[in-house]
Amino acid sequence: MKIKEKLTGGIFMVLALSSISALVLITVFIIVQGAPIIGDVGIFKFIFGMTWAPGKGEFGIFPFIVGTVIVTLGAAILGVPIGISCSIFLTEYAPEIVRNLFRPAIQLLAGIPSVVYGFWGLIYIVPFIRDNIGGPGLSILAGSIILAIMILPTVVSISEVSIQAIPKEYKEGAFALGLTHWQTVKAVLLPASRSGIVAAVILGIGRAVGETMAVMMILGNAVALPESILDPVRTLTTNIGIEMGYATGSHREALFATGIVLFVIIMILNMAAQYASKGKQR
């Protein structure tokens, strides 16, 4: 029995180490490939440079950073309130039959390929914006709408679990004090599950930051700073996806360096989510 337990433990350790090793190898590979161009151009000029012209040796990714931030912020503004509202509805107000229908439907959103979201946005959202709001249609607004839909499963699922994890005594005590159902949700349940909801929002934002195919199809991919939400932009991920297929030399190194910046952003978001989750446990 002891030999079997040790063997099982060893197998799990090897599997865990293989996962960590894969992460380390990917990190080292990206840094080795992208660090030289950052050293040549200068980290400040690379991050805050306004011109991206690989043929002329100009590698400034600031317009891509701005595009990434604006599109992600738009997705959060649109998607987070809907996601939290859905989680509240599913945990506190929905009948069992409705709950059993909504949960699989929301989870199904996570399984739809991103290219399908992009194609749907290209066929319906882009023409609607162009004909009824203005601009070319391929825009920040279109990308934000698509990303808002794509982050819903993350926000809804984690927020719902956080609310369900609250001890039922909290709710019973609020009712005993005379609070209505909505007052209990607003004053007791949401504050008690705040750290879990924050973690859900951060993970949803991380999902939006890392998305490539869907936003590549509907953002317009203009290499310029936007002046309104109806302007086309290019994000960090779409720039890599568009140009990596034909990039060589310093151009290729600059795309890997862009990956380093994106990797750092994602790591910061993940650490923030873990910190929020630990706050929930405390």
Identify whether 72 is part of a domain.
yes
Between CA 74 and CA 235 the distance in angstroms is: 13
Residue 156: domain span: 52-281
Identify whether 203 is part of a domain.
yes
Per-residue pLDDT of the chain (282 residues; tens, 9 = 90+): 567 777 777 777 777 777 788 878 888 888 888 888 888 888 888 888 888 888 888 888 999 999 999 999 999 999 999 999 999 998 888 888 888 888 888 888 888 888 999 999 999 999 999 999 988 889 999 999 999 999 999 999 889 888 888 888 888 888 888 888 888 888 888 888 888 888 888 888 888 888 888 888 999 888 888 888 999 999 999 999 888 888 888 899 999 999 898 888 888 887 877 776 665 545
At residue 222's C-alpha, the angle toward residues 49 and 143, to 5°, is 110
Residue 53: which H helix or E strand, with range? strand 52-53
Identify whether 129 is part of a domain.
yes
Burial 7-45 (b: 16+ CB within 10 A, else e): eeeeeeeeeeeeeeeeeeeeeeebeebbeebbeebeeeb
Identify whether 107 is part of a domain.
yes
Between CA 105 and CA 57 the distance in angstroms is: 48
Between CA 256 and CA 33 the distance in angstroms is: 6
Q: Which residues contact 267 (CB under 8 A, 6 or more apart)?
A: none
Total domains in the fold of the chain: 1
Between CA 279 and CA 199 the distance in angstroms is: 10
Between CA 99 and CA 194 the distance in angstroms is: 22
Plot region of 228 (φ>0 → left; ψ -120 to 50 → alpha; else → beta): beta
Q: 72 is written with which tokens?
A: 């992600």
What's the Cα-to-Cα distance from 279 to each of 6, 256, 267, rounded to whole Å? Answer: 34, 34, 18
Nearest to 236 by CA among 47, 16, 100: 47
CATH at 132: 1.10.3720.10
Query: 59 - beta bridge partners?
Result: 52
Between CA 217 and CA 200 the distance in angstroms is: 26
Nearest to 67 by CA among 148, 143, 175: 143
pTM: 0.86
Helix 62-88 / helix 140-164 crossing angle, nearest 10 deg: 40
| Cβ–Cβ < 8 Å for 157, 104 | no
C-alpha torsion 56→61→63→68, nearest 10 = 150
